[in-house]
Amino acid sequence: MYLQVSPAGSKRWFLKYRIAGVEKQLALGSYPTVSLTAARRARDVAKLQKSEGLDPVQVRKIEKLKAVNPTGDTFRVVAWEWYDKQAPQWSEAHAERSKRQFERDLLPWLGDRRMKEIEPVELLATLRKVEERGAVETADRGLMLARQVWRYGVATGRVQRDITADLKGALTPYRGKHFAAITDPVKLGELIRAIRAYKGGPIVRAALQLAPMLFQRPGELRGAAWTEIDLDAALWTIPAARMKRGKDGKENGDPHLVPLPRQAVAILRGLHGYTGHGVMVFPGERSHERPISENSVRTALITMGYTSESQTWHGFRATARTMLAERLEFDPLVIEAQLAHAVKDANGRAYNRTTYLAQRTVMMQHWADFLDKLATGAEVIPLRAA
């Protein structure tokens, strides 16, 4: 340790030391503001850090970086700071769902606690409150949100480590529930016959008939607008903003093109006489500016004897995906493109931009014809590629 005197007369304490053979200097303060006794205490702290394998200069830099978080280190502060950085990249629905979960399940118990003082058992107790109301999936999502907040807290110096790793195996395992879907040809034929015999209103009946034939997501089908439908070209163009995508995909992504088989065009032409004067293809009863609810088709399926344990609206996607591959032997990549799923291509790129529109047009007509044959009880022979 030494006192350095500048040409201007200022005096500062420095500690000279070596790390891996490289000489370094650590400023200990200005004299006389920092006395010799105080400088020696600072020197002793630095020597202790060095003996523990730390570089005193790096320790000083980290302390300065931590000091640039003036907003605080409570769970509430760090959680909202992380949320504000992530939310612009999410869809509105995902952002709102995450915000509600913070406000309902995490902040009431952890919000005002400093993150470095929260013990793993406290976080576990908070998440078990969610489990106790039977919301196992919600508890699992709560842990994922907490994990992201803790990782952000570590990165910004609010907390030393991610305590969520200590909770591995402590919560009830959540097994994602698949949407019920019929994949047996005979049973599917029975369902198609029941759909065609449905005596409800023309709007719900048309949606019921198109659901298994086009197998798009319920929100995409029921929210269809007539401006998206080109019956002459037999093509349905779903805007990117209505697709299940992140915010960037909704704002800048390409629309999803759905080829319409002859049977779908016929159903839509018939429906046009009922709803073609308005905006929505499937308008609701209370407001023609809003589509029918998802419960409309779900209730119709239940009326026909198909509960959520046997067949769901969303489950028609799994029905088509399974039977197109196993029964009709279509290329899985073409099927995934029709489902609007992003898949890795052979070169490992994040997304395969090929739309397979020509192949999907052929596939969708084969699928509609296949459903017709099942409905009549005819024997269906797999269509093998030449």
Q: Give the angle subtended at the CA of 236 by the CAs of 234 and 242, to the nearest 5°.
A: 180
Catalytic residue of the set 141, 256, 314, 327: 314
Q: At what angle do helices 315-326 and 202-214 cross, to 10 degrees?
A: 40
- How many residues belong to the chain? 386
Rounded CA separation 113/163 (Å) = 14
State residue 385's pLDDT score.
46
Rounded CA separation 319/294 (Å) = 18
- pLDDT tens-place values along the chain, 386 residues long: 878 888 888 888 888 888 877 888 888 888 888 888 888 988 888 888 888 888 887 777 766 655 555 567 899 999 999 999 998 888 777 889 999 999 999 999 999 999 989 999 999 999 999 988 888 888 889 999 999 999 999 988 888 899 998 998 888 776 555 678 898 999 999 999 999 999 989 999 999 999 999 999 999 999 999 999 999 999 999 998 888 877 777 878 889 999 999 999 999 999 999 999 999 999 988 777 889 988 899 899 999 999 888 888 889 999 999 999 999 999 989 999 999 886 555 554 444 456 789 999 999 999 999 999 999 986 555 554 44
Element (H, E) at 249: helix 247-252
Question: In whole angstroms, what separates CA 343 from the centre of its chain?
Answer: 15
Q: Give φ, ψ of 281 to 5 degrees.
A: -70, -40
State residue 15's pLDDT score.
85
Q: Give the pTM.
A: 0.60
244 is catalytic: yes
Instruction: Residue 233: count other Cβ atoms within 10 Å of its Cβ.
Output: 11
Rounded CA separation 259/231 (Å) = 10
Residue among 187, 245, 235, 231 nearest 212 (CA): 187
366 is catalytic: no
Catalytic residue of the set 43, 217, 222, 360: 217
Catalytic residue of the set 12, 47, 272, 341: 341
17 is catalytic: no
Rounded CA separation 75/271 (Å) = 53
178 is catalytic: no
Residue among 283, 281, 285 nearest 258 (CA): 281
The answer to whether residues 211 and 313 touch, using CB atoms and an 8 Å cutoff, is: yes
Catalytic residue of the set 60, 244, 250, 373: 244
Instruction: Residue 129: count other Cβ atoms within 10 Å of its Cβ.
Output: 14
Q: Give φ, ψ of 300 to 5 degrees.
A: -65, -40
Question: In whole angstroms, what separates CA 175 from the centre of its chain?
Answer: 17
Rounded CA separation 158/82 (Å) = 12
Residue among 136, 141, 134, 177 nearest 312 (CA): 177
State residue 172's pLDDT score.
79
Catalytic residue of the set 104, 187, 262, 351: 351
Please, what sign has the CA dihedral across residues 125, 126, 127, 129? Answer: positive
217 is catalytic: yes
Q: Which residue has the tokens 């790793």?
A: 165
Catalytic residue of the set 43, 141, 317, 360: 317
How buried is residue 205: exposed, middle or buried, by Cβ count under 10 Å (0-12/13-18/19+)?
A: buried
Which structure tokens are listed for 244? 């299940």
State residue 350's pLDDT score.
44
Rounded CA separation 251/153 (Å) = 30
State residue 62's pLDDT score.
64
State residue 345's pLDDT score.
54
Please list, in sequence order, all residues whose beta carbon lies within 8 angstroms of the beta carbon of residue 17, skipping any fewer than 6 positions away.
23, 24, 26, 46, 47, 50, 56
Kind of pairing between the strands at 235-238 and 256-259: antiparallel
Strand (E) positions, the chain? 2-5, 11-19, 22-31, 229-230, 235-238, 256-259
Give the domains, in start order, of the chain with CATH numbers. 2-66 (3.30.160.390), 75-167 (1.10.150.130), 185-376 (1.10.443.10)
Q: In this structure, which long-range contacts are made by residues 275-284, counting pairs with CB atoms below 8 Å and at least 24 apart in sequence?
A: 275/203, 275/226, 276/226, 278/226, 279/225, 279/226, 279/227, 280/223, 280/224, 280/225, 280/226, 281/224, 281/225, 281/226, 281/228, 281/229, 282/203, 282/204, 282/206, 282/207, 282/221, 282/222, 282/224, 283/203
